[in-house]
Structure 1
Amino acid sequence: MKRIFPLLTLLALAAAPVLAQSFGSTVAVHDNHVIAGGSTNAISPGALYVYTPGPDGAWTETTTISAQEHGRAGDNFGRSVSVFGDMMAVGAPGSNHVHIFTADESGSWVQSGMVMNDSEGFGSTVVLEGDMLLVTAQAGRRANGQVFAYKRAPDGAWNGVGELVAEDVPEGSQYGASLTASGGHAVVAAPLANEFAGAAWAFRWDDALGKWIANGNVAAPITGQGSQFGATMLMADAHLAVGMPGHDNRMGAVAVFRLDDESGQWSFSERLSSFSASRGQGFGSALAVSGSTLYVGAPGQENGYGAVFTFVMDTETVSIVSSGLMVPRDLQTRNSLGSTLAANDQIMVAGATAYDNRAGAAIPFVNQDGEWIQGAPVWKDPQGYASVTGGPVECEDGEAVSFPCEGVDMLSFLDMSDLGADRGVRTNDIWGWEDPETNREYALVGITNQTSFVDVTDPSNPVLVGTLPLTSTARPSVWRDIKVFKDHAFIVADGAGEHGMQVFDLRQLRNVENPPVEFEETAHYGEIYSAHNIVINEDTGYAYSVGSSSGGTTCGGGLHMIDINEPANPTFAGCYSDGETGRRGTGYSHDAQCVIYHGPDPDYDGHEICLGSNETALSIADVTDKENPVTVSTATYPNVAYTHQGWLTDDHRYFYMNDEGDEPQGLVEGTRTLIFDLEDLDEPVLVGEHIAETTETDHNLYIKDNLMYQSNYGAGFRVLDISDPANPVEVAYFDTSPVGGGGGSWSNYPYFDSGTIVVTGGSNGLFILKKKE
């Protein structure tokens, strides 16, 4: 009987707003067909796609596999898959189902069974082995799962036969994140156990008892902190391979075990390592086997390009006969090829989960006379929200189209394709420009690899005028920031390498024929490389790059001051950082606002004051003299996690600030906005904390008159009345991500004279809104 084993991706541990799982994060093979998927969202049901090679070598999508019963939007069908012979189990953890399919004589997959469970995340991982089925129910990224066992009866029904329960499993170790089984033996791993060293437990099937019983631990003498032993596993007959992609600074390794005939225990035999080892390679992130050849994925090879290592094994001695390296050709700079793998003697498929800005792809291969021939990448993206234009959609009965709302109408919506975006990218920051000659209004929309310029003068019929790509020396990044001065846009990006600050003359938007067009930058400022934000004081003509890194003059991540009074000729003006703030004590500023102060403190009237959200505290500085900037004061607050961003009231009396980490870390009961009274700039006073009914992470906020406009990751766009400054009251909202996922709002721009408000909605697109009077 042919066995095609389930193969798991390397566990994603970074806490960041992300899209749904990438295409190619689930792969399998059956005969000469590649089965791929994994790219799911909460808007549409999940699916797997079957690809077949043609005579010309081109791979064509031939079949779509989806749940024939109990399929629904957000079911995450295809998040896990396991093929055994002509039978396939597909996990749908969003609906707590596992669907069983059988291949008929024509090669089509027909649903033949289903297993369901009330446990949250049931179907996160599946293993099909003959008449045995193992299923993990995992409720969260760090949570321990439950592993349920099923056995197929003669009538085809799948009956529960208990759970695989291990003793002394540490909390938060991801027990059940990976499974493998063969020949009446099974192993369950917890790759985050023991400070991410990882751990695994063996089980064996007892026919007399009719259940799986514990059979000791599986351990390798080479594991250490961060190894992630068990992140991937593969069992074939009496052999077991265990991936350790985090081992030794993420160079990675694979531990090979052999089943001892006498003791029935797994004994360590050999360690496999990359023969071109480098830090971050992730060797062991995926495993596959065909005959006596073991395939090992290393998605971090060559700085994320990715590769697959091959080892021909002597199954008697468990020794290496020969080895090789498969490096993909003609792909992108960062593909993470080898994140997942599946193979038989005819075909192989490698998941490239970072392909197309992490949207992902599957790379198929055909075996021709012992040589693997690479095919073109294949992928299929789930359906998202379509653009809405042609007329306003009023918020009625708490909804506009399918978006929950109150007191905010949707004038239009542009999806990512209508913003001129490439596959896999998402929106981030946004700003606006009103042409002083034509009075036309433009949204300047930050996107992973470009800035899109959208004419929103007729807000129900927005027009994409053009795009400005990232600089040629930069790489795409989720962080981009834009501000405007003297009809020029100033654009920076964080985590983007040698990006610098782009300067773009917005007057070019006036006379564009046949939009959209691709623009070139007007000027470039290279004294910084990456920067998290660009702050501009329009009253003085100075810009302040904050969170600078990766090269250039970083100023410790504090204020990198730039004279932009001649917009096309920006010049360096100095540095300032408050060494009492920032996580590393360098004065790193995540965001800031700089103004000519006209608030209640007469000591600083007319001074140029910058208020920095500096990771650990609010920092106030007097930067009037660029050669001698001075710290005015520093203010902290309870339950600091990550001081993120804030904005002054029009009278400069109050400063409203958000903390990006307090909600996800459970430090507060709801979305928190901090309120500082700046009557005395030398001694800011925290006078209140607004705790919203939502619990989502807040992001950027801005103030106009007596209203505060907030963007929140999971709760979208919120409007608060601050007439009573210490006691804000929410008066309106528009939820840009009603089903979660990557559609949360990053930022908004509420300053157009028309009252139009433009809001970025993550991977969904651009929302053009208006608050009801």
Structure 2
Amino acid sequence: MAGALAGTLAVGTVAVAAPVFAEPDDGSAVLPAQSLVTLDDSATPSSLTEPGSMDDLNMELLANIPKNGAFADLGAYSSDLAFQGDYAFAGNYNGFTVYDISDPDEPEQVVQVVCPGSQNDISVYKDVLVLSTDSSRSDDSCESSAQSASVAESWEGLKIFDISNPREPEYVSAVETACGSHTHSLAPSKNGRTVYAYVSSYSPRATYPDCQPPHDLISIVKIPVRSPERAEVVATPVLFPEGGYTNTSGCHDITTYVKLDLAAGACMGDGILMDISDREAPVVIDTVRDTENFAFWHSATFNNAGTKVVFTDELGGGGAATCNETVGAERGANGIYDIERPGRHHGKADEAATAQHGKGKPGKGHPKVQEAELVFQSYYKIPRTNTNTENCVAHNGSLIPVKGRDVMVQAWYQGGISVYDFTDSANPREIAWFDRGPLSESELLLGGSWSAYFYNGYVYSNDIQQGFDVLAIERGAGLGKLPKHTYSELNPQQQVSFRGGGR
């Protein structure tokens, strides 16, 4: 990562030749690259078996496209998902895949873009696709190789593609960001001509020339929608001027809700609520902390009304077996918080819970800053006990558009997929689930659903090892007929409202 930590970071623009596509056996196109994550026979666990018998309640697996081509190896982890029209865009540590989901019962893989650089967190907005690189690379191309973060010339940041033709993505530019880009979240301008990417990164070290502690900031990248090649870092706001609980190590993920000019950030040891009415100058409204049960604040989801936030705790970094009796029901879970406005009653949160979780102070010096506070209500964790060979913890999910209720579908790695109702913030309850069972009966292998999101009538999951899944929520879940035309585009970390949801 070359460049400074301040707001003067330069844009790394790349000149990329037109992709060269090959035709694999499955008929989809592949954009090849030089450096892939591979495992030889000695590194492939001999105990890797087909998953055990599937367990489910009110959910049905309709289709699966296994990992293939350059993404087939055990070390090529599937990651996040984004949606636009009839297409799903699925991240992988080796690049991303585009699926045609016009017929959810029979999805088709249409292109596999090979561009290594974990995690390849992915978002789309109009003709722009944004990809996060959070591993040091030799350069910003899709032919780069892994490089030590201690090398000043190494590169990490955002890669930007033109998806005006989703079947032939074109790599148009790259932007280097401080400490790389573990995740990013989009926040379009009011007129839609510009989309901002809020870049989260963390884990500075004194031995990393371009990722020095303290690192208490995020990078804001401005992307002109019609000229994405002009993307650049325009701000690096400090979110924790007093250091934060984790001694300024950064944020993991931010969710924007642009209709309400709000954002919620999961920042390692803190959960934050921000006013983003000025896209280039977000202001922290409130900060909460849970020193008893939260280990790693991972992600955030608003309810549709913008009156609640669900924060997730990725205890063990996603690679540990935490859905067992030893860990219990309140660690590696979701924390559900109400957003209370001044003068309103705190609902079901008692004084002890408020004291435990703390609260920050409203932001000052900002003309449009909103006053609000996050008030803890309850924890939610899947009620099933997993084996010690299954990595399981709260991970990525999204709202399901159900009139008058707050309902969410969520990935739990090898804990499967859970659908739960948190309309009553203090008493969330599970109403559906899907679970493949362990990848191995004898050793813990990284696998399971990384992301599970609802999009136009169906749940789509990107399974780390098993590939792309399409699932249906059955009538037994009590959600009624689910809408099939809610979204024209969906990035779960860029929330959009739907009619009649929440209360």
The question of a shared fold, defined as TM-score above 0.5 by the shorter chain, is answered with: yes
The alignment of Structure 1 onto Structure 2 pairs a total of residues equal to 362
Q: Determine whether 1:562 maps to 2:221.
A: yes
Deviation at 1:577, TM superposition (A): 2.8
Residue of structure 2 equivalent to 1:621: 274
Deviation at 1:557, TM superposition (A): 5.6
Secondary structure of 1:357's aligned partner = coil
Instruction: State the identity as a percent.
Output: 22
Residue of structure 2 equivalent to 1:312: none
Q: Determine whether 1:542 maps to 2:196.
A: yes
TM-score by length of structure 1 reads: 0.43
Residue of structure 2 equivalent to 1:593: 255
Deviation at 1:357, TM superposition (A): 3.1
Q: Structure 1 runs of 4+ off > 6 angstroms?
A: 378-383, 549-555
Q: Determine whether 1:531 maps to 2:233.
A: no
Residue of structure 1 equivalent to 2:264: 611
Residue 334 of structure 2: which of 662, 665, 673 is its match? 673
Q: Distance in 2 between matches of 1:379 and 1:692?
A: 30
Paired letter, 2:255: Q
Secondary structure of 1:746's aligned partner = strand
Q: Distance in 1 between matches of 2:70 and 2:301?
A: 31
Deviation at 1:380, TM superposition (A): 9.5
Residue of structure 1 equivalent to 2:21: none
Residue of structure 2 equivalent to 1:489: 129
Question: Deviation digits for residues 499-526 of structure 1, max 9, x if unmatched?
Answer: 421212222225x6xxxxxx54133223
Please identify the structure whose Cα radius of gyration is greater. 1
Deviation at 1:425, TM superposition (A): 3.3
Residue 76 of structure 2: which of 426, 448, 458 is its match? 426
Residue of structure 1 equivalent to 2:172: 522
Residue 467 of structure 2: which of 765, 768, 772 is its match? 765
Residue of structure 1 equivalent to 2:233: 572
Q: Determine whether 1:643 maps to 2:293.
A: no
Q: 1:582/1:576 Cα in 2 relative to 1: closer, same or farther (>3 Å)? A: same
Residue of structure 1 equivalent to 2:346: none
Residue of structure 1 equivalent to 2:16: none
Deviation at 1:640, TM superposition (A): 2.5
Paired letter, 1:586: T
Residue of structure 2 equivalent to 1:684: 374
Residue of structure 2 equivalent to 1:465: 110
Pairing of 1:365-380 with structure 2 (within 5 A): none
Deviation at 1:539, TM superposition (A): 5.5
Residue of structure 2 equivalent to 1:746: 450
Residue of structure 2 equivalent to 1:230: none
Secondary structure of 1:556's aligned partner = coil
Deviation at 1:545, TM superposition (A): 0.7
- Structure 1, unpaired ranges of 5+: 1-331, 334-355, 363-377, 387-400, 436-440, 513-518, 599-607
Q: 1:597/1:551 Cα in 2 relative to 1: closer, same or farther (>3 Å)? A: farther
Residue of structure 1 equivalent to 2:98: 453
Residue 403 of structure 1: which of 28, 49, 54 is its match? 54
CA RMSD of aligned residues (A): 3.2
Kept in 2: contact 1:527–1:552 (CA 8 A): no
Where is the strand percentage greater, Structure 1 or Structure 2?
Answer: 1
Residue 726 of structure 1: which of 419, 426, 433 is its match? 426
Kept in 1: contact 2:95–2:114 (CA 8 A): yes
Question: Deviation digits for residues 244-296 of structure 1, max 9, x if unmatched?
Answer: xxxxxxxxxxxxxxxxxxxxxxxxxxxxxxxxxxxxxxxxxxxxxxxxxxxxx
Q: 1:557/1:460 Cα in 2 relative to 1: closer, same or farther (>3 Å)? A: farther
Q: Distance in 2 between matches of 1:711 and 1:692?
A: 10
Question: Deviation digits for residues 426-451 of structure 1, max 9, x if unmatched?
Answer: 3332323233xxxxx22211112111
Deviation at 1:664, TM superposition (A): 5.5
Kept in 2: contact 1:639–1:667 (CA 8 A): no
Q: Distance in 2 between matches of 1:687 and 1:379?
A: 44
Deviation at 1:736, TM superposition (A): 3.8
Kept in 1: contact 2:381–2:394 (CA 8 A): no
Kept in 1: contact 2:78–2:467 (CA 8 A): no
Secondary structure of 1:558's aligned partner = coil
Q: 1:552/1:431 Cα in 2 relative to 1: closer, same or farther (>3 Å)? A: farther
Deviation at 1:734, TM superposition (A): 1.1
Q: Distance in 2 between matches of 1:748 and 1:575?
A: 31
TM-score by length of structure 2 reads: 0.64
Deviation at 1:629, TM superposition (A): 3.7
Kept in 1: contact 2:312–2:394 (CA 8 A): yes
Question: Deviation digits for residues 531-561 of structure 1, max 9, x if unmatched?
Answer: 1101012454221011167676899263211
Q: Distance in 1 between matches of 2:79 and 2:217?
A: 20
Question: Deviation digits for residues 5-30 of structure 1, max 9, x if unmatched?
Answer: xxxxxxxxxxxxxxxxxxxxxxxxxx
Secondary structure of 1:523's aligned partner = strand
Secondary structure of 1:576's aligned partner = coil
The higher relative CO (CA closer than 8 Å, separation ≥ 6) is in 2
